[in-house]
C-alpha cells in the first residue's frame, strides 16, 4: 500500500459539501458532513446516503463457480440458488481465523458478485484467487465500480421515485437490475445500518450523477463514516479489524449462524467444527455502559481483573449512552453479567446485553 | 466567533475574569473541531486546578480530549447542567456552555493569556 490516499469518484462532491475528510483503510473518506449525531438520526428517521465506493467488488463466473466459492466461504451458497438472492458470510483460513466478512450476490447464471471490505481488498483478492480453479474467472471490478448506500425508513420511497412506478424493488437480501433516471445500476436490498434500504452498485463514472439525483430529494441527508459506525454498532453488526480479524474464529465472534453445521469441505471447516464441539474460550458480547464513551482497546474488568478489551465502542445517539462490544471469557458472557470498563481515569459499570442494542427500526418492522 | 472580552490559551480554552473569579470554557473553534459533544467529565467545586494540567475530559462521538486548565486556583462552581445537556457546549460555547468558575490564585496569570486577535492568529497558523 502506498502512502498516497485513494479517492472515490465522489471526492469532489464531499469537498464541495464541506465534509470532514479522514484517512480510512487507505482512502480519504468523509467522516461527517453536518455532524455524526444529526446524520445518524436522519438515517433512523428518514434517509441517509453513504459513499461506500471504497469497498471491494469481485465478480466470478464459470461452470465450476459454485463449487469453487463454496470451498472459500463458510456459509452455504445453496441458500442463494435463486438468481438475484444474496448471502452474508465470512471466509476463513485453515485455523478458522476470519480473513474477511462479505456479501455474496447471485447476480447471474454461473455468476456471483462479492462485496467485501476496502481494507482487505488485496488480501481477499490474493486469498480467493489462490484458491480458485483456473477455469473459474475472477475479475476485480473495484476500480470501475461505484457503491452508494441509501438507508432509512424513507429510502425505498426515494429509490422507487427514481426507478419508476413500474419497477418492482428486490426483496430483502436480493439484488436486481434497475435504471435510476437513465443510469443502469444494480440495486441490492442490503445495508449496514439496521434500516431498510438499498446499496446502489453502479459504474464509477455514474456515481456523481446518482449522488446528485439522490440529494435532490429533501428527505435525503449525506452521511459520513462516523454515522455509519454508530448505526452499525447500535445493531451489533461486526466491523472487520475491530470485532474480528485473523485471530478470531466465527464461533467466538457469534457468527456460528454463517457456518452451517451440515456444510463440509470449505477452508477452515475442521478447525471451526472442533471449536464448535469444545465451545470457544472467549465470546464477543454487547455491553451497555452507564457513563462516558467506551472506545476500542479500553480494558474490560471483572472484580478488578482485566478480562478483555473493548472491540468496538461508541456513543449511541438513539439510546443516549455508550455501547460497546468486547471479547470476554465465556463464563462472563451471559446476559446481565456486570462488568466494568476502564474509561480512562474512571471505571464505569457495563452490563452484558444481547445485541442489537437498538431493537426497533424500519428493518425490524419489515421482518416482524 | 472569538469575543473580544475573553482571553484564550493554546489548548483552546477561554477565560472571562470578573474580580478574582474566572469563568472557563472551550472556544468555538474547539467545539467545532470536536463535533457534537456527548459527554463532559468535570471535577467538583472545592477541587484545585493547576495551569497546564488536565481538569477533565470532553468527548464527541468520534474522539476524546483532555480539558487543560489555563490558570491555577480553586473551583467555586461547576456547570452541572452539562451532565444532562453536553450539547450546550456546541450550541453556546461562550455562554451556557461554560464549564468552571475558579477563584484564581494570581489574576496576573490571566493577563498572560492570548487576546481574541492573538488567538485568531494562533488558530490560523495551526490550521
Assess if residue A321 is contained within a domain. Answer: yes
Domain boundary among A234, A256, A271: A234
Strands A47-51 and A220-223: parallel
Residue A365 pLDDT more than 90? no
Assess if residue A257 is contained within a domain. Answer: no
Q: Which residue has the cell 444529526?
A: A38
CATH number at residue A38: 3.30.1360.120
CA B71 – CA B51 distance, rounded (Å): 4
The candidate with the shortest Cα–Cα distance to A225, out of A215, A236, A239, is A239
CATH number at residue A109: 3.30.70.1400
Domain boundary among A119, A140, A161: A140
A33 and A153 in a single domain? The answer is yes
Assess if residue A333 is contained within a domain. Answer: yes
Assess if residue A104 is contained within a domain. Answer: yes
Task: Flag if B35 and A32 touch (Cβ within 8 Å).
Answer: yes
A177 and A45 in a single domain? The answer is yes
A21 and A166 in a single domain? The answer is yes
A37 and A150 in a single domain? The answer is yes
Assess if residue A357 is contained within a domain. Answer: yes
CA A248 – CA A74 distance, rounded (Å): 14
Note whether A73 contacts B: Cβ–Cβ < 8 A: no
Average pLDDT of chain B? 94
Q: What is the pLDDT of residue A31?
A: 96
Residue A318 near residue A306, CB atoms below 8 Å: no
Distance from CA of A282 to the nearest CA of B (A): 28
Q: How many domains does chain A have?
A: 3
Give residue A326's pLDDT band: very low, low, confident or very high (50, 70, 90): very high
Assess if residue A264 is contained within a domain. Answer: no
Distance from CA of B83 to the nearest CA of A (A): 10
Residues 6+ apart with CB under 8 A from A365: none
The candidate with the shortest Cα–Cα distance to A156, out of A144, A173, A139, A168, is A168
Bigger pLDDT: B61 vs A117: A117
Assess if residue A189 is contained within a domain. Answer: yes
Q: What is the pLDDT of residue B126?
A: 80
Residue A228 near residue A44, CB atoms below 8 Å: no
Task: Flag if A295 and B64 touch (Cβ within 8 Å).
Answer: yes
Task: Flag if A346 and B41 touch (Cβ within 8 Å).
Answer: yes
DSSP line for A278-311 = H--SEEEEEEEESSS---TT-EEEETTEEEEEEE
Give residue A2's pLDDT band: very low, low, confident or very high (50, 70, 90): low
Residue A3 pLDDT more than 80? no
| Mutation target vs A (from B32, B61, B89; most A CBs, 10 A cutoff) | B61
A179 and A31 in a single domain? The answer is yes
A43 and A77 in a single domain? The answer is no
Task: Flag if B61 and A346 touch (Cβ within 8 Å).
Answer: no
Assess if residue A42 is contained within a domain. Answer: yes
- Taken in order of first residue, the domains within chain B and their CATH numbers are 7-122 (2.40.50.100)
A110 and A190 in a single domain? The answer is no
Domain boundary among A140, A158, A190: A140
Does the predicted interface ipTM exceed a cut of 0.90? no
A164 and A25 in a single domain? The answer is yes
Q: What is the pLDDT of residue A165?
A: 83
Residue A32 pLDDT more than 50? yes
CATH number at residue A358: 2.40.30.110
Task: Flag if B36 and A291 touch (Cβ within 8 Å).
Answer: no
Task: Flag if A36 and B36 touch (Cβ within 8 Å).
Answer: yes
A26 and A150 in a single domain? The answer is yes
A229 and A352 in a single domain? The answer is no
Q: What is the pLDDT of residues B4-61, one digit of tens each?
A: 999 999 999 999 999 999 999 999 999 999 999 999 999 999 999 999 999 999 999 9
Q: How confident is the model over B87-106, as a mean pLDDT?
A: 96
CA A265 – CA A185 distance, rounded (Å): 35
A64 and A39 in a single domain? The answer is no
**Pure H helices in A74-171:** 121-130, 155-163
A39 and A161 in a single domain? The answer is yes
Joined together, the cell numbers standing for residue B65 give: 480530549
Q: What is the pLDDT of residues B73-86, one digit of tens each?
A: 999 999 999 999 99
- Residue range of the domain that includes A87: 57-140
Joined together, the cell numbers standing for residue A343 give: 474509561
Q: What is the pLDDT of residue B99?
A: 98
Q: What is the pLDDT of residues A149-161, one digit of tens each?
A: 999 999 999 999 9
Residue A367 pLDDT more than 80? no
Strands B100-104 and B21-26: antiparallel
Residues 6+ apart with CB under 8 A from B10: B114, B122
Pick from B39, B41, B61: CB nearest A36: B61
Note whether B64 contacts A: Cβ–Cβ < 8 A: yes
CA A197 – CA A158 distance, rounded (Å): 10
Joined together, the cell numbers standing for residue B60 give: 464527541
Task: Flag if A293 and B59 touch (Cβ within 8 Å).
Answer: yes
Residue A314 pLDDT more than 80? yes
CA A173 – CA B72 distance, rounded (Å): 60
Q: What is the pLDDT of residue A1?
A: 47
Amino acid at each position: 500500500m502506498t502512502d498516497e490516499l485513494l479517492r472515490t469518484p465522489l471526492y469532489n462532491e464531499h469537498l464541495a459539501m464541506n465534509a470532514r475528510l479522514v484517512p480510512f483503510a487507505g482512502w480519504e473518506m468523509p467522516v461527517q458532513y453536518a455532524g455524526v449525531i444529526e446524520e445518524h438520526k436522519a438515517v433512523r428517521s428518514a434517509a441517509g446516503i453513504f459513499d461506500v465506493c471504497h469497498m471491494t467488488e469481485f465478480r466470478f463466473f464459470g461452470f465450476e463457480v459454485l463449487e469453487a466459492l463454496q470451498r472459500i466461504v463458510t456459509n452455504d451458497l445453496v441458500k442463494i440458488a435463486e438468481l438475484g438472492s444474496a448471502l452474508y458470510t465470512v471466509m476463513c483460513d485453515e485455523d478458522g481465523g476470519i480473513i474477511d466478512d462479505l456479501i455474496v450476490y447471485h447476480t447471474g447464471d454461473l455468476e456471483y458478485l462479492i462485496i467485501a471490505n476496502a481494507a482487505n481488498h488485496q488480501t481477499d483478492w490474493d486469498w480467493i484467487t489462490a484458491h480458485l480453479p483456473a477455469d473459474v474467472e475472477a475479475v476485480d471490478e473495484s476500480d470501475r465500480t461505484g457503491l452508494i448506500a441509501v438507508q432509512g425508513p424513507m429510502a425505498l420511497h426515494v429509490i422507487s421515485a427514481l426507478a419508476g412506478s413500474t419497477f418492482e424493488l428486490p426483496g430483502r437480501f436480493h439484488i436486481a437490475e434497475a435504471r435510476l433516471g437513465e443510469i443502469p445500476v444494480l440495486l441490492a436490498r442490503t445495508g449496514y445500518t439496521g434500516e431498510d434500504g438499498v446499496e446502489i452498485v453502479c459504474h464509477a463514472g455514474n456515481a456523481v450523477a446518482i449522488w446528485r439525483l439522490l440529494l435532490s430529494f429533501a428527505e435525503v441527508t449525506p452521511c459520513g463514516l462516523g454515522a455509519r459506525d454508530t448505526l452499525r454498532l447500535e445493531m451489533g453488526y461486526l466491523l472487520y479489524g475491530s470485532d474480528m480479524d485473523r485471530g478470531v474464529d466465527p464461533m467466538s465472534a457469534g457468527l456460528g449462524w454463517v457456518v452451517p453445521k451440515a456444510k463440509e469441505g470449505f477452508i477452515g471447516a475442521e478447525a471451526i467444527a472442533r471449536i464448535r464441539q469444545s465451545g470457544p474460550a472467549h465470546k464477543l458480547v454487547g455491553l451497555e455502559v452507564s457513563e462516558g464513551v467506551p472506545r476500542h482497546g479500553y480494558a474490560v474488568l471483572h472484580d478488578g481483573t482485566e478480562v478483555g478489551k473493548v472491540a468496538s465502542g461508541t456513543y449511541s445517539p438513539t439510546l443516549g449512552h455508550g455501547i460497546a462490544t468486547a471479547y470476554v471469557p465465556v463464563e462472563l458472557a451471559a446476559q446481565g453479567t456486570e462488568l466494568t470498563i476502564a474509561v480512562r481515569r474512571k471505571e464505569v459499570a457495563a452490563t452484558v446485553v444481547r445485541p442489537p442494542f437498538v431493537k426497533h427500526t424500519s428493518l425490524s418492522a419489515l421482518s416482524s | 466567533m472569538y469575543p473580544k472580552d475573553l482571553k484564550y490559551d493554546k489548548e483552546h480554552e477561554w477565560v472571562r475574569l470578573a474580580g478574582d473569579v474566572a469563568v472557563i470554557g472551550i472556544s468555538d473553534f474547539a467545539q467545532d473541531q470536536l463535533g457534537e459533544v456527548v459527554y463532559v467529565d468535570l471535577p467538583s467545586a472545592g477541587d484545585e486546578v493547576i495551569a497546564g494540567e488536565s481538569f477533565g475530559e470532553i468527548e464527541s462521538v468520534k474522539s476524546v480530549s483532555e480539558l487543560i486548565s489555563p490558570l491555577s486556583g480553586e473551583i467555586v462552581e461547576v456547570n452541572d447542567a452539562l451532565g444532562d445537556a453536553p450539547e450546550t457546549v456546541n450550541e453556546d460555547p461562550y455562554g451556557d456552555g461554560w464549564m468552571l468558575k475558579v477563584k484564581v490564585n494570581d489574576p496576573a496569570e490571566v493577563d498572560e493569556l492570548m487576546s481574541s486577535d492573538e488567538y485568531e492568529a494562533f488558530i490560523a497558523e495551526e490550521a
